[in-house]
Amino acid sequence: MFGALRKKLASLRKRGAEVVEPEEEPDVDSSTDTATGATLETVTPKVDEVTDLEYESTVDESDSTEEKGRWRFFSRRETKTSSEVATSGIGDTGRKINEDKLDDFLWELEMGLLEADVALPVIEEIKNGVRNDLIGRRISRGYDLGDAIEQTLRDAIAGVLQHSEFDFDAFIHDHDKPVVVMFVGINGTGKTTAIAKISNRIQKNGMTTVLSASDTFRAGAIEQLSVHADKLNTKIIKHQSGGDPAAVAYDAVDHAKARRRDVVLVDTAGRMQTNANLMDEMKKIKRVVSPDLIIFVGDSLAGNDAVEQAIAFDKAVGIDSIILTKIDADAKGGAALSIAHAIGKPIAFVSTGQGYEDIIPFNGKWMLDRLFAE
């Protein structure tokens, strides 16, 4: 998972020594032992291994502007951010960042992210985060340069991911019933299977579901959803193939209200974002049932294509959240890193396999841990 991007980030970590000037002798932070004539120097201890991620509001006293809210990483015994690892005060010891070499480093970072199908706006934000963290600073003595570079990359990627999470379970639990959830996306992304996984999750949380077989366009779609409904022992509302999908959705919501069911999961025909007729059909379903949540199901292997699809569907009907499928086979990681940032909507789940249990809530720490795994 994310193997290609992980290897690129690891190689950049090893290049830490190349972006700094040779170490300078200290001007003020040294003294001489009068008895022995030995020079005494202050050494910054190496930071412990990073083990957690937290978001908090902080103020950088060295800046005239207030920085409200940034991701910080905490070790078991000692707190360090990349800005604290790299200091900029007069008289600081350690190695100074070389701006020319930093530009080369950022260019290599950009190429690596492009190869991993990361969207350009996301690349620019990561690059700017790295540059702003390192430019004009010195890496404290005694601190491993590779650790400093990795910390800076973590901070920058965490900044991109900080708005990428959505608590689907809490939304369903707290919302008035029945909750109507509509699923959209193109063919082949695993949308119908994702619906079955969500139905299983909702039932495991003690609530009931109704499936709406509103994909009346694709041959076999109704039968496929019916098989899942039988396995999950949940109600399915279906009409004959070629029928009005909005009417199916309406009947499903009506059934849920009459039988006091908790959640209606509406399947829709997979369609390319360029198919105007099918997009209009999807808009009609939205008008008829007024879904409380619209989820875009995207294939993580599609990379930037998945990002473009999400943008098109968001413009057409409005997306509230995202499910990324086939994440277990994704060697690049570009879609997971880019899609939420591109449309400003969070990722609710990632699908990690074919079983009903193979779906997990997405969070930034989960992805960071995998991107920077040894």
Cβ burial of 235 (10 Å; 0-12, 13-18, 19+) is middle
- At 279 the pLDDT is 81
The per-residue pLDDT for range 190-219, each reduced to its tens digit, is: 899 999 999 999 999 999 999 999 998 887
Fold of 3-161: Four Helix Bundle (Hemerythrin (Met), subunit A) (1.20.120)
Q: What confidence tens digit (pLDDT) does each residue in 76-121 have?
A: 323 344 444 444 433 445 567 777 777 888 888 888 888 888 888 8
8 Å CB contact between 143 and 44: yes
pLDDT at 60 (0 to 100): 46
Residue 305 pLDDT: 86
pLDDT band at 322 (very low <50, low <70, confident <90, very high): very high
Which residues are CB-neighbours of 35 under 8 A, at least 6 positions away? none
Q: Where are the domains of the chain?
A: 3-161, 168-371
Q: Render 112-137 in DSSP notation, one character per residue.
A: HHHHTT--HHHHHHHHHHHHHHHTT-
Facing residues of 54 across strands?
72
Kindly report the CATH number that applies to the domain delimited by 168-371: 3.40.50.300
Contact at 8 Å (CB) between 333 and 315?
no
Calculate the CA 10 to chain-centre distance: 19
Average pLDDT, the chain: 77
Residue 292 contacts by C-beta under 8 Å, 6 or more apart in sequence?
Answer: 175, 179, 180, 181
- Predicted local confidence at residue 349, as pLDDT: 93
CB atoms within 10 A of CB 10: 15
Residues 6+ apart with CB under 8 A from 361: 165, 167, 168, 169, 348, 349
* DSSP structural state of residue 355: S
Q: What average pLDDT score do residues 26-45 get? A: 46
Overall average pLDDT of the 334-349 stretch: 85
The residue with greater pLDDT, 297 or 277, is 297
| 228 backbone φψ class: left, alpha, beta (φ>0; ψ -120 to 50) | alpha
- pLDDT category of residue 339 using cuts at 50, 70 and 90: confident
